[in-house]
Amino acid sequence: MFEIVHKQALNQSVTKMVINAPLIAKKAEPGQFIIFRTFNYSERVPLTISDFDRITGTITIIFQIVGAATSELNLLNEGEGLCDLAGPLGLASKVDGLKKVAIVGGGVGCAIAYPLAKKLHGLGAEVHSVIGFRSKELLILEEEFKAVSTRLITLTDDGSYGQKGLVTDALEALIKEGNEYDEVIAIGPLVMMKFVSLLTKKYGIKTTVSMNPIMVDGTGMCGCCRLTVGGETKFACVDGPDFDGHLVDFDEAMSRSGMYRELEQELREKSCNLMQEVAQ
């Protein structure tokens, strides 16, 4: 059993969990992920490792409650444990040699962007972080980003907090100021990463995106997480999750990501009914 040592609601739909997993914490690096099962009958679901502590032997995951699996996970409390936890999986993000980087995070994608900002800051790089949310109520990890960023810009779509606008607007303003970035790292909704990549391609700036397609086994055997990158088929679980944003076929990825939306909604409704029955 993988015990939950800390649980915190970051906003109305996003939860942070610190989990005792010493073997995973010993090997984890930014960009890698785990696959969990909450109960022995639960589906296997990937989540990126948001942080890790090799001394305490813990890893941190931050997840949005969007379907049956994450609803089940959110049922667990401190002192309880997950049935299965496998990892670290995927390739670690390549950060060596980067001196000045722009990190762009959107929504819950900031949970994946943060460990990269932290790693780069620890290596002495100049980190400019741009994080965007739909509204103030959905804001997460701002203080954590402040601690590891040379410069931080926080935006909301509705202007309820920070600057009003899109992350692409803030990133382009930074570029026009004369900032010369070795790399831009964008993590968030597919549409956000697509338009960040289109922007940086215009300026000739290397751009890495973190892809999180539908995934089953996490070892490259099932093929569910396939992507088209530079005209070639890649598998996010073993070839990624990081890819060249200028080569990813985002339109195909967005089309495939919506294939099971109706089924996910149906399963979530069943999960909610189950939780109501348990509560009664």
- Mean local confidence (pLDDT), 35-41: 91
CATH of 100-257, one of 3.40.50.970, 3.40.50.80, 3.40.50.300, 2.60.40.420: 3.40.50.80
Contact 30, 118 (CB under 8 A): yes
pLDDT tens string 215-231: 877 777 888 889 999 99
Gyration radius from the chain CA atoms:
18
- Mean local confidence (pLDDT), 126-130: 98
Q: Which residues are within 8 A (CB) of 189 and not within 5 positions of it... i.e. 6 or more apart?
A: 106, 107, 109
- 3: enclosing H helix or E strand: strand 2-9
Contact 48, 64 (CB under 8 A): no
**Which DSSP letter does residue 93 get?**
P
Q: How far is CA 66 from CA 61, 108, 189, 222, 268, in A?
A: 15, 11, 14, 23, 8
Cα–Cα distance measured from residue 240 to residue 231, given in angstroms and rounded to the nearest whole number? 16
For 123, list phi and psi in degrees, rounded to 5: -85, 0
- Confidence class for position 261, pLDDT limits 50, 70, 90: low
Q: Say what the pLDDT of residue 273 is.
A: 56
Q: Say what the pLDDT of residue 270 is.
A: 59
- Confidence class for position 259, pLDDT limits 50, 70, 90: low
The residue type at 144: E
Token readout for 151 is 């410069």
Cα–Cα distance measured from residue 211 to residue 228, given in angstroms and rounded to the nearest whole number? 11
- Confidence class for position 279, pLDDT limits 50, 70, 90: very low
Q: Which residues are within 8 A (CB) of 107 and not within 5 positions of it... i.e. 6 or more apart?
A: 64, 132, 133, 134, 138, 188, 189
Is 1.20.120.420 the CATH number for 2-89?
A: no
Bridge partners, residue 61, by sequence: 17, 49
pLDDT tens string 115-126: 999 999 999 999
pLDDT surpassing 60 at residue 11: yes
Quick one: CA torsion of 185, 45, 119, 207, rounded to 10 degrees?
-10
> Helix crossing, 167-176 with 190-203: angle to 10°?
20
Residue ranges covered by each domain of the chain: 2-89, 100-257
